[in-house]
Structure 1
Amino acid sequence: MGLNTHILKAIAKKGFTIPTPIQRKTIPMILDGQDVVGMARTGSGKTAAFVIPLIEKLKSHSAKVGARAMILSPTRELALQTLKVVKELGKGTDLRAILLVGGDSLEDQFGSMASNPDIIIATPGRFQHLKVEMGLELSSVSYVVFDEADRLFEMGFASQLMEIMHSLPSSRQTLLFSATLPKSLVEFARAGLQDPKLVRLDAESKIAPGLESAFFTVQRAEKEGALLHVLQNVIKMPLGTPSPKDDTKDSKGKNRKRGAAGPPSGETPSPYSTVVFAATKHHVEYLAPLLKAFGYATSYVYGSLDQTARKLQVQDFRSGVTNIMVVTDVAARGLDIPILANVINYDFPSQPKTFVHRVGRTARAGKTGWSYSLVTVQDMPYLLDLQLFLSRKLILGRVAKEHGMFKDCIVVGGMVRDKLESCVEEVTQYLGEDEDLTALREVANRSEKQYMRTRNGAAAESVKRAKQVLQSENVNGVNALFDDEGDSNEEQQRIDMLARVSGFRPQETVFEIGKRGNTSDAATVMRKHRAKVESRQANAAAQRRDAERVAKEDDGTRDIPTTMDVDSEEELVLTGPTEDMDEASEGELELTFTRPDDPKKARKGGSAWQDSEHFMAYTPSTLNLAEDRGYGVHSGSNNHNNFVEAAQGATMDIQNDETKSFGEPSKQRAVGMRWDKKGRKFVSRANDEDGSKGARMIVSESGQKIPASLRSGRFDAWRKANKIERLPRVGELERKGANHFTAHGAGGKRFRHKKELAPKEADKFRDDYHVRKKRVDEAKEKRVGRFAEGAGKQELRGVDDVRKARKLTAKRKEKNARPSRRA
């Protein structure tokens, strides 16, 4: 690829010898100066794909003022990881890279920006704040990277990105990298790419080929016990804190200058390292102490955690101090934790692409890994959405284990009941003994209710299929992961026994017990009543069987089989066309790409009004509704995320064509105010359109409204405190003798201290006592140092000093004519 020696040495030191497919495709195009959109699954080396050409193009630090490259990341952890990769691959060069993320001191970041960095790695919110506060000029930026591009737009950074892109020069090179790229053209248009080249790899396999997955059906009240069961019996997680390995010595005990190829020393996780994903931060605050109570070394991370604490918790997990890290979806993007063995979805994700990013933390760079998901009854529609998104076979219950089953199929089933119940009893016992854990569980339950109300809804087709799947007997069978036949037979015997007990109907009523052979009025009445009821039940059962038989003959419906293949006709209608059009038959194309004819019209023998050869539909032929819904920002919600749904609800009001809200229904504009719960007042709906929400806004350079808090004056105060008249403008040369601007000097200038200090008091026991005492007396006369205001106040008082103070107090009392307190 024509890389320089410094980069090649840094790459070799990290242990990489062969570039990944995304790197082989994108690095030559980036070095050629083209705009690139890179799409590949997680763990495929996307970060190095844009960092290596970045360092190759910048080469060394520029003496001219102005940043030349900018990398925008959606989360602080991902930005911190990108900075680490830049520093590792940039060894041997004098390139300066800085990190600008929320939670850090603004004053420190003012100094970092004033140090003339070459590379800026930032989150959009904090960078926009610094840009507005400092009045930054970005005309020198020639290399812009949007890492995890879909996540940037999904997290609501669209306005910040538009503001930043407006200040960038048009001659820049723009790169977008992500594991998933939605098909919505609006999100790509906002990025401002010029003739981009799309590099899309592993489009068919959306998750790593080395990943094996298992899905366990559990009750909501048994989720804590199920988590404990997975850790104890499936992963076999050891208790206690793991002993860290000393990588600085070789097998002979000698000190080694450099570590072996692979993760650096101090960053080798445990081979049992597991990440547990929870829905909210309250779940994290509950699960972390619960696992610690059982003896597991546990870390935890969530969005509102202090930045310093987040770094420490992640570092403990990366270095192997802890085996388990409980996180929210803040860690589902971009975190590269070496040798991560397992991922557990304690709360099943509501979007398929969230699942892709969660399980993408393991089985990275050709390694293997496992993912375990706990699925409740409410989560079953989302599981079927995931099945359609991944286009995999659904296997329910106990089946014969096959090679590669957990890699290529969605294997769903229950757990071994006796082991699960013992774990649930242990959790219940701990909760009964610890009041703090009980309080945390109540908070987590309340947050879960709020989460269930606010999460995106599943597809309507998946909800219908979920009802059929839940009615199947196989859904409660033991998962194929548990291959112990003894456990399977015991579980099947337990299910059969429960079925017999639940279906038991006594032959006698309470009026007839113990009275067989004895005729009584009550027993006679009950026998006659039972005869009538049994005849009615038999007739009703016969009618139901006839109705089901007729329905099956007419509609061709069948029971849900043990294995459900997504290649059936019913699911072809739901998923839409596949990417490879050459392999599809003509019948499948007609069934998938066009709407089926109305069965009523078909019975009448009417011909279709469309000409299959010349008709051009407004629906794109390459539109895959299931995949588009999974990639979409508002997947599964009520928001319209494709043209078909948006066109169905489109309305236009021609009467108000000169108003700002042209094209919106008049009924929605009639109510111009809404109630703000937080402010407890009515606010204008116009504020919702620009995002102000009633807050004070100012107009930015691009004409957008931004919060007025971004111009707080803190930079001016920092500049005055450090005696900096102005920062160098873009294109000017750096000041000589100043490597960077600091917060301790005027623009980074170095001054010699002229402060004079007074000598210490003379020691009587030293030989040079008289010499030192003379120096102290001279300092007192010249008022140097601590003697600048005089000789100082004597703390010890003699008899004359005490008498003088008493006389002064008596004079004050006489003057004020106040009686003594004792009197």
Structure 2
Amino acid sequence: MAPRAASPALSENEFDITGALFQNDSESDNERSSAKSKRQPKKKIPSQDLDFLGDVNDDDGDEAFIAQQQTSANRKASNLKGRTVKKGGGFQAMGLSANLLKAIARKGFSVPTPIQRKTIPVIMDDQDVVGMARTGSGKTAAFVIPMIEKLRSHSTKVGARGLILSPSRELALQTLKVVKELGKGTDLKCVLLVGGDSLEEQFTMMAGNPDIVIATPGRFLHLKVEMNLDLYSIRYVVFDEADRLFEMGFAAQLTEILHGLPPNRQTLLFSATLPKSLVEFARAGLQEPTLIRLDTESKISPDLQNAFFSIKSSEKEGALLYILHEVIKMPTGPTEMAQQRQGEDASARFSKANKRKRAEMEKAVNTKESPTQHSTIVFAATKHHVDYLYSLLHEAGFAVSYVYGALDQTARKIQVQNFRSGLSNILVVTDVAARGIDIPILANVINYDFPSQPKIFIHRVGRTARAGRKGWSYSLVRDADAPYLLDLQLFLGRRLVVGRENGDHVNFAEDVVAGGLPRDGLSQNCEWVTKVLGDDADIAAQRTVATKGEKLYMRTRNSASLESAKRAKQVVSSDHWTSIHPLFQDESSNLEAEREKMLARIGGYRPSETIFEVNTRRIGKQESEEALNTIKRVRTTLETKKKRSKANAKSEFLEDAPEGLKTGEGEAGKNEDEAAFSDADDIDAPTGVADDMSLASDSELEVTFSSYSQSNGNKSKKASAASFQNPDYFMSYTPNNNSLAEDRAYGVHSGTNSNFAQASRSATMDLAGDEGSRGFGEPRTMMRWDKRHKKYVARQNDEDGSKGTRLVRGESGAKIASSFRSGRFDAWKRGNRVGRMPRVGEAEAPNLAAGLNAALSGKRFKHRREQAPKRADPLRGDYEKMKKKADKAKERSMSKAGGAAAGGKSELRNTDDIRIARKLKQRRQEKNARPSRKR
């Protein structure tokens, strides 16, 4: 069969579709004309017949042809619209539509952030995701971009398809702004449902069939119950700032909302931290979720250097001031940026000539690169500590900002922005408030209150030493915090260096280095703090409140491990614990170090005598004889316990010792006490032991060690005889040996993200509340006695309880406010003459959709119809008043003969008006010219 002739038309690979992609571009006509003028003419493809028969067996030619076509296609894709596209990990490689790519470029996004690069491909693959990201890391765009790509355009079928739940009104407004900016070019309809707005307007918006709903949980649940919404059309659900949702008490609302969602939905959960209650919620509401966590969140940067300072409780404020003054060299007074703002002339700032300069300066101020080398975050335990430290540091002359959980959203934004823009150098925060704050450039982190978990420590210090920059973290460690320091040391797997026990060989980036502060500088700052507390009553009152809050914090924080608590006693009692820190080795000589040790010994001196024995010298032995006898009995009891514990240790050692030490063979058997408790250098070796060990054969060694293991086996049998476990049938809940590792290795779908429970175990972290003892998702323990049922019940369901509202059971069994079913939606339907609402899947009603369009456009209906006023009723008591009102309305109305428009009389007069006016004027003149009456 003869080959057919080549087609005169261009093939699909040679056809340029850029015009079809960007035919609705928003460029101006001038730009388009300039682009056309710059466009070069296409080269003509020579018309030649293709030799199909000659290329049948030519594989190299096919491969070259495919490579050439692919290269040309890539070249066209990279030069779309004349823009230079960054290759490798960009938005173009994620398979997004052209309109969405244009909206992303219009917003200014060129390269995706790390959380976007990891999250968007997984979301596009229709998987449930639990993402851990702080505020400012681009997480909003990480779930908005896939949502717009999936929804594409408005659906005329009734039912919302996207739902975004935010903890606060401000965050919901911010999300709405991002959705509108990225949704340009599409006809998607997005509504905002937050508290404080009119319910009737929200009824109108929800009845108009929106595509995306951005709401707070309380108001959305109210509308769901009031309107009896069917949520089975929702395909895409996002829980934004989920840890704050649980912290603010939305757990019951989220459970009720989750119950009404379809099972085939895609659920995304974004949070800065991952508390246990959130993990349980994710396991119940998400289907095989994938945990996405950045590497910087789970480990300490190698460029971070750590220093731990051992102090006393009374020296914490002075130690903080010493670190700021002497170690960080923090300048006092207003910052450079604050001085620049103060030095500007008001008239110059607001003049038209300097408008562009002012805009550039504000842009530079608002950038994330503004924090200086002295930028420091101070972590405190409670909000009361934050208030106290803010007042104290402000009194010391530092530029300070503060943030805690109960702070108003607007005030929080202002304080964080002041720190970002460089107006303040210090930011005092709590763990709860700082979990969502992202400061890209940060020099120092100070742990004023030592964290109770190693994960919290990593979460704190992970804010510094990023992107190859150096950073420091300084932690204040009291004697009570030493067990937590040892837990951190074991968690990091680093060497513990206390004081100067290892000389000058110290690496602050790889070791856990602890030590004391120089006594002179510390005492001066402590004296200044004491003086301020004596002079300022407000700061003293704040310290009293912070002390009370610290007691509650100490009772509710997690306890350290038992082994670390035992080791901490030895570490704290050593002389190196109070010795000067190696960080100050250049500033003090050996003589100064010895002086510091002596002062530390004097400060830590505890007399052996009790107060009863001291009083004996003053009041005599006869009057205090009873107290002395009591002290003697106590000491006798303690001595007996010590001897008993030593004897038990001796017996245990002898049971575990080899047979030679027990039976008395050789010289070592003559004195068992000496052999058991003397040092290794003082034990006399048996006769010929060295020769026998040097000439021992393999068989003798095997017999010796097998007999020793056999003796140990007999001991283990004795110990296991009292156990209830049968080794043949007992199944432990923890994996033994390497079975778990083998299962993971042979598993097809195994991996770090395949098992959410396993992946979340390392990321779970509960933060203690900064205002009370109640954590995330924990119910209130307030109970009262119910006289009717004869038992304690929660006050949450009382009419006079903590919330002051009566609760009812929802569809999921969770308790919701009974005020959600108020009947206002039925009244709205009667007022708007709406009959049956269209169900999910049906076509939308035009009149309801028009109401939504009017609400989204911001234009409201105004009455412009003009009617004649009603005639006044002579039988009414206000007849005269209504008559005057009707007359005025007639004067304002528009005359049919083309008179003045409504709103005022016409100023143009005709000849009749002029004649009447002249006649009235003449009468007034004649009246005024009359002579006065004669009496």
Task: Please give the TM-score of this superposition, normalised by the length of structure 1.
Answer: 0.63
Match of 1:355 in 2: 457
**Is the 8 Å Cα contact of residues 147 and 177 (structure 1) preserved in structure 2?**
yes
What amino acid is aligned across from residue 817 of structure 2 in structure 1? P
Match of 1:617 in 2: 732
* Partner SS, residue 442 of structure 1: helix
* Partner SS, residue 379 of structure 1: helix
C-alpha separation in 1, matches of 2:786 and 2:538: 33
C-alpha separation in 1, matches of 2:836 and 2:301: 48
Match of 1:305 in 2: 407
Is 1:386 equivalent to 2:496 in the alignment? no
- Deviations along 1:455-488, one digit per CA (max 9) or x if unpaired, are 3333333333322322232222333444534277
The 1:8–1:343 alpha-carbon spacing in structure 2 relative to 1, beyond 3 Å, is farther
**Is the 8 Å Cα contact of residues 22 and 201 (structure 1) preserved in structure 2?**
yes
Aligned-residue offset at 1:377: 2.3
Aligned-residue offset at 1:627: 10
Which of 334, 353, 371 pairs up with 1:270? 371
C-alpha separation in 2, matches of 1:611 and 1:338: 57
What amino acid is aligned across from residue 716 of structure 2 in structure 1? K
Which of 734, 748, 751 pairs up with 2:862? 751
C-alpha separation in 2, matches of 1:618 and 1:132: 43
C-alpha separation in 2, matches of 1:353 and 1:713: 49
**Is the 8 Å Cα contact of residues 343 and 372 (structure 1) preserved in structure 2?**
yes
The 1:65–1:266 alpha-carbon spacing in structure 2 relative to 1, beyond 3 Å, is farther
What amino acid is aligned across from residue 861 of structure 2 in structure 1? R
C-alpha separation in 2, matches of 1:416 and 1:721: 78
| Runs (5+) with no aligned partner, structure 1 | 506-535, 559-596, 640-673, 757-775, 788-823
The 1:616–1:7 alpha-carbon spacing in structure 2 relative to 1, beyond 3 Å, is same
C-alpha separation in 2, matches of 1:699 and 1:34: 32
State the aligned residue count. Answer: 657
Match of 1:231 in 2: 324
C-alpha separation in 2, matches of 1:238 and 1:76: 38
The 1:543–1:389 alpha-carbon spacing in structure 2 relative to 1, beyond 3 Å, is closer
What amino acid is aligned across from residue 486 of structure 2 in structure 1? L
The 1:258–1:18 alpha-carbon spacing in structure 2 relative to 1, beyond 3 Å, is farther
Matches within 5 A, 1:683-762: 684-685=791-792, 687=794, 696-711=806-821, 732=844, 749-751=860-862
**Is the 8 Å Cα contact of residues 279 and 451 (structure 1) preserved in structure 2?**
yes
Match of 2:527 in 1: 425
Match of 1:569 in 2: none
What amino acid is aligned across from residue 387 of structure 1 in structure 2? Q
Which of 256, 264, 270 pairs up with 1:171? 264
- Deviations along 1:687-708, one digit per CA (max 9) or x if unpaired, are 4899997973212122322233
Aligned-residue offset at 1:166: 1.0
The 1:302–1:197 alpha-carbon spacing in structure 2 relative to 1, beyond 3 Å, is closer
The 1:184–1:454 alpha-carbon spacing in structure 2 relative to 1, beyond 3 Å, is closer
Aligned-residue offset at 1:172: 1.1
C-alpha separation in 2, matches of 1:148 and 1:121: 13
Aligned-residue offset at 1:291: 1.9
Match of 2:314 in 1: 221
* Partner SS, residue 547 of structure 2: helix
What amino acid is aligned across from residue 750 of structure 1 in structure 2? F
- Deviations along 1:766-808, one digit per CA (max 9) or x if unpaired, are xxxxxxxxxx999598488999xxxxxxxxxxxxxxxxxxxxx
Match of 2:914 in 1: none
The 1:322–1:390 alpha-carbon spacing in structure 2 relative to 1, beyond 3 Å, is same
Is 1:473 equivalent to 2:585 in the alignment? no
Aligned-residue offset at 1:418: 1.9
**Is the 8 Å Cα contact of residues 71 and 144 (structure 1) preserved in structure 2?**
yes
**Is the 8 Å Cα contact of residues 366 and 420 (structure 2) preserved in structure 1?**
no
The 1:675–1:165 alpha-carbon spacing in structure 2 relative to 1, beyond 3 Å, is closer
What amino acid is aligned across from residue 601 of structure 1 in structure 2? S
Q: Which moved more, 1:261-270 or 1:153-162?
A: 261-270
The 1:752–1:320 alpha-carbon spacing in structure 2 relative to 1, beyond 3 Å, is farther
Aligned-residue offset at 1:31: 0.9
Match of 1:676 in 2: 783
Q: Which moved more, 1:388-397 or 1:90-99?
A: 90-99
More helix by share: 2
Matches within 5 A, 1:295-694: 295-363=397-465, 369-398=471-500, 405-486=507-588, 490-496=592-598, 498-499=600-601, 601=716, 616-621=731-736, 631=764, 633=766, 676=783, 684-685=791-792, 687=794
* Partner SS, residue 706 of structure 1: strand
C-alpha separation in 2, matches of 1:139 and 1:371: 50
The 1:307–1:625 alpha-carbon spacing in structure 2 relative to 1, beyond 3 Å, is closer
Matches within 5 A, 1:760-771: none
The 1:127–1:482 alpha-carbon spacing in structure 2 relative to 1, beyond 3 Å, is farther
Match of 1:69 in 2: 162
Aligned-residue offset at 1:350: 2.8
**Is the 8 Å Cα contact of residues 98 and 112 (structure 1) preserved in structure 2?**
no
The 1:259–1:154 alpha-carbon spacing in structure 2 relative to 1, beyond 3 Å, is same
C-alpha separation in 2, matches of 1:188 and 1:442: 39
What amino acid is aligned across from residue 170 of structure 1 in structure 2? P
**Is the 8 Å Cα contact of residues 389 and 630 (structure 1) preserved in structure 2?**
no
**Is the 8 Å Cα contact of residues 387 and 542 (structure 2) preserved in structure 1?**
yes
C-alpha separation in 1, matches of 2:171 and 2:504: 38
* Partner SS, residue 480 of structure 2: coil
Match of 2:34 in 1: none
Task: Specify the structure having the higher radius of gyration (Cα).
Answer: 2
Aligned-residue offset at 1:321: 2.7
**Is the 8 Å Cα contact of residues 312 and 479 (structure 2) preserved in structure 1?**
yes
Aligned-residue offset at 1:184: 9.3
**Is the 8 Å Cα contact of residues 279 and 764 (structure 2) preserved in structure 1?**
no
Aligned-residue offset at 1:207: 4.0
Match of 1:142 in 2: 235
C-alpha separation in 1, matches of 2:167 and 2:815: 21
- Deviations along 1:618-644, one digit per CA (max 9) or x if unpaired, are 2245699999598365999x99xxxxx
What amino acid is aligned across from residue 764 of structure 2 in structure 1? Y
- Deviations along 1:493-551, one digit per CA (max 9) or x if unpaired, are 2213553798899xxxxxxxxxxxxxxxxxxxxxxxxxxxxxx9xx99x9999999979
**Is the 8 Å Cα contact of residues 578 and 600 (structure 2) preserved in structure 1?**
no
**Is the 8 Å Cα contact of residues 297 and 458 (structure 2) preserved in structure 1?**
no
Is 1:284 equivalent to 2:377 in the alignment? no
- Deviations along 1:697-749, one digit per CA (max 9) or x if unpaired, are 212122322233555678889x699979699866636756666565999xx64
- Deviations along 1:130-183, one digit per CA (max 9) or x if unpaired, are 544565443342222345656766776543332121121222112344566579
The 1:182–1:275 alpha-carbon spacing in structure 2 relative to 1, beyond 3 Å, is closer
* Partner SS, residue 472 of structure 2: strand
Q: Which moved more, 1:693-702 or 1:67-76?
A: 67-76
- Deviations along 1:58-83, one digit per CA (max 9) or x if unpaired, are 44666776543334456788767766
The 1:543–1:781 alpha-carbon spacing in structure 2 relative to 1, beyond 3 Å, is closer
**Is the 8 Å Cα contact of residues 287 and 326 (structure 1) preserved in structure 2?**
yes
Identity of aligned residues (%): 54
**Is the 8 Å Cα contact of residues 401 and 415 (structure 2) preserved in structure 1?**
yes
C-alpha separation in 1, matches of 2:133 and 2:891: 75
Aligned-residue offset at 1:434: 1.4
C-alpha separation in 1, matches of 2:117 and 2:601: 59
**Is the 8 Å Cα contact of residues 484 and 564 (structure 2) preserved in structure 1?**
yes
| Runs (5+) with no aligned partner, structure 2 | 1-93, 342-348, 608-635, 658-675, 678-711, 742-756, 775-780, 868-884, 894-901, 905-935
Aligned-residue offset at 1:755: 9.0
Task: Please give the TM-score of this superposition, normalised by the length of structure 2.
Answer: 0.56
